[in-house]
Amino acid sequence: MSRLADDITAILDGDCDATRVALYNPRRTVAAIRERLAKPEPEPTVDDAIRILNRDYFDDVRGIVEDCKRAIRDGEVSSDDELRDYLHESVDGCQRVIHTFQARCGLLSSDHPDAYEDETGERPSDVSVQMYWALMADVNDRLESYDELCEELEEERQRAENGDV
């Protein structure tokens, strides 16, 4: 969300009580929004761009982890070996690995951009190979074993049944 949208949301939130019931004077709220719209947007910085790239990359990492959990929950995966195969296929087919530009952007954010070289002692043949290994290492950092994931999913299921979600 943009800074402008965040600012307008904050103005509107400020005009509500804890139960989100509007307590505002429409003229005052409109005036505050107009005042904010009159301010120029600050120029995006390199830090803003890096923050966006990092968020996008780690959304992909989390998405793969969540997809692995879903595969276990749905019975598509039923062992550590099947989980590793599923993970390999998920990472190998990820747009982040397939497309060169996305791979380059991902390597800027990865916690393991040198995973291939660290593992093999050689330079990767291309950026897609380097991204595959980096993404696999980042996902593995966040992914537990099959048995641990099963326990976590069972705990989630029990919390949901008990209404503790």
Contact 91, 136 (CB under 8 A): yes
User: Half-sphere exposure (CA, 13 Å, Cβ side) for 156?
Assistant: 9
Mean pLDDT confidence for 61-87? 93
Q: Is the pLDDT of residue 121 over 60?
A: yes
Stated pTM of the model: 0.71
Instruction: Specify the amino acid at residue 142.
Output: R
Q: Is the pLDDT of residue 65 over 60?
A: yes
What is the pLDDT, as a whole number, of residue 101? 95
What is the pLDDT, as a whole number, of residue 118? 96
Instruction: Specify the amino acid at residue 77.
Output: V
Residue 115: pLDDT band with limits 50, 70, 90: very high
pLDDT in tens, 27-48: 777 778 788 888 887 888 899 8
DSSP 49-100: HHHHHHHHHHHHHHHHHHHHHHHHHTTS--SHHHHHHHHHHHHHT-HHHHSH
Mean pLDDT confidence for 105-132? 96
Place of tokens 């009159």: 38
What is the pLDDT, as a whole number, of residue 44? 84
Contact 91, 85 (CB under 8 A): no
